[in-house]
Amino acid sequence: IAKTEEQMSQHLASLPNGGQNALGTQWGAGDIMYADLNGDGKIDGGSNTEADPGDRRVIGNSTPRYSFGLNLNADYKNFDFSVFMQGVMKRDYWQGGYYFWGATSKWWSTGLVDHLDYFRTADNPLGENLDAYYARPVFGTSKNQQTQTRFLQNAAYIRIKNIQLGYTLPKETTKRFGVERLRVYVSGENIWTGSSVAGMFDPETIDGGSNGTVYPLTKVWSAGLSVTF
């Protein structure tokens, strides 16, 4: 993202054969500076063919490369503990929906707290934010939202799917009540997720929709008794 008008002007000057006009106009501070990958002095999609893709390159793969699961169990005296974790070790994810970009193209878009991290100069009522994650919001154009490495998501994650802690009462105690075995436990599901994907998305359900139409997996705590007579 260009932090100043001068920085953007210098970038456009390095593209003498058309600048970034194929993507949009009125470039300035807060806009994306795209790389001239084929060195032709302009940013465009070439002839839109495999032989001439312009400044486009393959930058990721949305297919999960390595999926894993890990199950751990431990016992100590009358206590038992188990945890099951699963995740994906390598996956790229491009999110092009309004739920990610916020209200920058359509008035009915959802505005989230994450979207407040956008480029702002010192004269903005909300204060300066030159190191923002998002480019400056511009309506009516997607010039800053072209598929690019800056906003490519790392969709790798690890999640505790289930964790359980139990305690089995001594038989000497339970036999007094005619019970062969009595175990009490607490259990949690989806209680922790490690992921760098944008906060408005659940890394386990990102294939289901791009505009917030898929409900994320909920955290669940439960407790119970297991009784054998």
Kindly report, residue by residue over 111-161, the tens digit of the pLDDT.
889 999 999 999 999 999 999 999 999 888 899 999 999 999 999 999 999
- Cβ-Cβ contacts under 8 Å for 99 (sequence gap 6 or more): 109, 110, 200, 201, 210, 211, 212
Q: Which of 98, 72, 97, 99 is nearest to 83 (CA)?
A: 72
**pLDDT tens string 32-48:** 999 999 999 999 999 99
What global pTM score does this model have?
Answer: 0.85
